Copies of this chain bind each other. A is one copy, B any other.
């Protein structure tokens, strides 16, 4: 096991109706005037925003409000939020939404405390200070409610880049599974795919003898394989929603990936798809991740056999382990298809002729990247090509 630090100081507030406690928690963590940040109209239409604002008012918290966060959230709204916070004297950011809203909240929180351009943080500059922030989560997916990470897209040139820092971790995150019951099946499945991808990026490692984190990874994956079809079949299944929502946090707050090398190439390869086509990150991952697996599995056949048998219930083929590895990948892709995810370029709305552009924007030049298998621009091209024609 490699040396590591693990620090996850967020207070998680989980369960039915907990969003009505938002005001108490903003107060507990020192806020007196909060920017309430949200996305499209669903938080308004459902009455969630009104309930959250009522809770803030009850605790004597002043508010400013900013809506309109888009999927693949843009730098333009971040600038607007920073300006608003400064003008209104905001001392706390409350994100009401999913990963895009939370990531935007983190960017604003850092930007308010910085004299320069917040985009510097997404080009390698370290975030030293940020306003405190809280979360009311509305979709189980990004895990941003329990991580210090943020991904923002620069509208000019559609550059998608990330940053991360402990000061960007939410002080509290309210997770009410009932809020996810109104999500369309497609978004639910995109979220589930993202959760599984967060685990797989950590699961595929070159670090030996890390049984505890291997098993924790498998615990989350097995749960997702069991629970996701249940919410697709019955969106109102609170218990299945609850299991997925907590799995989403566990998948990405770091606990299942400490002490081991991680990969993260599938995320990078996908980011270019969602940046170019503005598709959902989870949908892009459904296309890329099994294709990446097919390209790299020979690097460690036994690890893919482990995934195949433990996560997807394959029987181990002791005469032909590669067959088991491939069957596991195939079952993963079939699983994604069964929950309504795209599995190739056409289903995603991507174009084969854009591959050179995607690879160029990925921007590794003559370099290589990735913690499990180190990939060149040529390798990445090959993976996009597998994804073009993928079938179940």
A residues near B, CB below 8 A?
Answer: 1-16, 18, 177, 208-213, 215-216, 218-220, 222-223, 226-227, 239-240, 242-243, 246-247, 250, 255, 258-259
A160 to B12, CA, bound (A): 31
Contact B1 A7 (CB under 8 A): no
- A–B complex contacts, Cβ < 8 Å, 12 sampled: A1-B14, A3-B16, A4-B15, A5-B11, A5-B14, A7-B12, A9-B11, A14-B259, A212-B219, A212-B220, A213-B246, A250-B255
Contact (A209, B239) CB under 8 Å given A3-B15, A220-B215: yes
Contact residues in B for A11 (Cβ distance below 8 Å) = 5-7, 9
Query: Complex: how many Å from CA A256 to CA B78?
Result: 36
Contact of A8 among B8, B13, B216 (CB under 8 A): B8
Contact status of A212 and B250, CB under 8 A, knowing A14-B258, A258-B14:
yes
Q: Which chain B residues border A5 with CB–CB below 8 Å?
A: 11-14
> What distance in Å separates the Cβ of A133 from its nearest Cβ neighbour in chain B?
16
Residues in B whose Cβ lies below 8 Å from that of A16: 3
| Most chain B C-beta atoms within 10 Å of own C-beta, residue among A2, A210, A255 | A255
Q: 6 closest pairs, A vs B, by CB?
A: A3-B15, A215-B219, A9-B9, A209-B239, A1-B242, A6-B12
Instruction: Indicate which residue in B8, B12, B215, B250 contacts A222 across the interface (CB closer than 8 Å).
Output: B215
This protein's copies in its complex? 2
**Is there contact, CB below 8 Å, between A255 and B255?**
yes
Closest to A173 in B: B6
Known: A212-B219, A215-B218. 16 other contacts (CB 8 A): A1-B15, A4-B12, A5-B14, A6-B11, A6-B14, A9-B11, A14-B258, A211-B222, A211-B226, A212-B227, A212-B243, A212-B250, A215-B222, A216-B219, A242-B259, A255-B255
Q: How far is the CA of A239 from the CA of B210 in the complex (A)?
A: 8
Which of chain B's residues have a CB closer than 8 A to the CB of A219?
A: 212, 215-216, 218-219
Chain B residue nearest in CB terms to A237: B209
Docked Cα-Cα span, A365 to B213, in Å, equals 43
Contact A3 B8 (CB under 8 A): no
> For the complex, what is the distance from the CA of A223 to the CA of B212, rounded to whole Å?
6
Contacts A9-B9, A218-B219, A219-B218 given; does A243 touch B211 at CB 8 Å: yes
CA distance A3 to B175 in the complex (A): 10
The answer to whether A212 touches B246 (Cβ under 8 A) is yes
Docked-complex contact A208 and B239, CB < 8 angstroms: yes
Residues of B within 8 A of A13 (CB): 5
Report B-chain residues with C-beta under 8 Å of the C-beta of A177.
1
Contacts of A9 in B (CB 8 A): 8-9, 11
